[in-house]
Amino acid sequence: MDIIKIIGIAFLAVIIILILKQYRPEFAMYVSILAGALIILMSIGKLDGIIQLLNTIATSTKGNGQFLGVLLKITGIAFLTEFAVSVCKDSGETAIASKVDLGGKIIIVAISVPIISSLLETVMQVLP
């Protein structure tokens, strides 16, 4: 199971970080970033099946296929933003973390405007 590997990497990284903080605290952040990147790379392989399923659903329905791309971009931005925020917080830079979080939210809203617009148009057509 992949989750066992992910948990193992996380625990190993935590142990290494705890040891490094005693002797070389400046390297602890690098281990944290490396472990996070490794976990993300291990998880990305599972996205292929999810994307194929969503493509199948999008093509079998009469909905607009462009929305699937927008939703995938939004999801990717959310994941990357959360990873960056976590790295900033782990480094003690909470002010930068909050700015990254805000920037990610603004970008997500900006990208979702076509979906919101289309939804409002549909609602307006249904209402008298």
Q: For tokens 């996380």, what's the residue?
A: 10
pLDDT value of residue 42: 87
pLDDT value of residue 26: 85
What six digits make up the tokens of 123? Answer: 């609602």
Q: For tokens 């930068």, what's the residue?
A: 96
Q: Indicate the residue type of 50.
A: I
- Dihedral of CA atoms 20, 21, 22, 24 in degrees, nearest 10, equals 60
pLDDT value of residue 63: 60
pTM above 0.75, yes or no: no
Per-residue pLDDT of the chain (128 residues; tens, 9 = 90+): 788 998 999 999 999 999 998 998 889 889 988 998 898 888 888 877 787 887 787 777 666 667 777 888 898 899 899 989 988 888 888 999 999 999 999 999 999 998 888 888 888 888 87
Residues 35, 6 contacting (CB under 8 angstroms): no
Residue 91 backbone dihedrals phi, psi, to 5 degrees: -85, -5
Residues 20, 67 contacting (CB under 8 angstroms): no
